[in-house]
Structure 1
Amino acid sequence: MKSFKQLISLLLITHLGLCVHNAQAVVINDDAPNFTLNSLQDQQPITLAQFKGKVVYLDFWASWCHPCRQSFPFLAQLQQQYQQDGFEVVSVNLDNNPKLATDFLKQFPVNFTHLQGFDTGISEKYAIEAMPSAFFIDAKGRVRLIHKGFKASHKKFIKAVLEKLLAEN
């Protein structure tokens, strides 16, 4: 187990130096850019600041994204397992048609917050270059890690990062 923890630490340290994006940069250990977006479920405005005090996995996705189809059941499982510990998955859909997102969610019903992000400037604010793109945000509201893409082999890493951030809380 110790070697696994050392591997995670090494991956985190290595990743930290690679996570500065161009455009409007999101920088590791800086505050996550706040936003207000409408909920896909009921069109109510939701801000990122509402989740301060919780560890947030901010997930950008689209209905056409095959890895997103793989990630949603795993993210729902994490939400269920760690929500009582102060964890929230917040997804931002970037489809140009909200119906595509709602159809996707009928196929992959999950228990976390879904926001509509198309044509809101959020993808530029977070410099989204790949689908899915996720931002681990700690309880203080700082971006701690940026994760692009999703494969089944990423599950252990994502869970380990989540547990580390929850332990800091």
Structure 2
Amino acid sequence: MPTTSHELMSIAREQGQHASEGWRRSAISRAYYAAYHRCREWEQALPALGANMGEEGGRHQELINRLKHPDRTCSAILKLRSKANGVQLEVQRERRVKADYRLGDWVSEKELGEQLDQVAQLIARCDQPSCADSAVLRTGRITDAGTPPPSPNPSGTPPSAPR
């Protein structure tokens, strides 16, 4: 059975449990690839691909560019999520490049923790159904994680106007 982004993330967490820097480097890399593959999959579900505007590069940079510049046919929430995914994926890619290629640079536990936390946020944002669009449109707000804030009214119906 083919692997999934969730499985790659699980492997990254397991690798991150080891104390050595080599394992941290490997965990950062696996986490990035979990994010990259989940973003590619998420992008395919959009109404249209975004514009490849920005820094030139290979497939990874092109995906980041398209996410950061979503198509106008995307809803407001999808545009916000796409931009947030692009920005986070770029940061995660920079950590992955350091972990994989800059062997003379120290990779800290803090960097690993940030990578794992941010990839988990990104994957959760991609996994969130689009039905949250109505909450964003109703409140006009979105959290830093690219999701609408929790409704203060659990029933989901707007409170009646004061009389």
| TM superposition score category, shorter chain reference | under 0.3
The TM-score with structure 2 as length reference comes to: 0.27
The TM-score with structure 1 as length reference comes to: 0.26
Q: Which has the higher contact order (CA 8 A, sep 6+)?
A: 1
**Larger helix fraction of residues:** 2
**Larger strand fraction of residues:** 1
Structure whose CA Rg is larger: 2
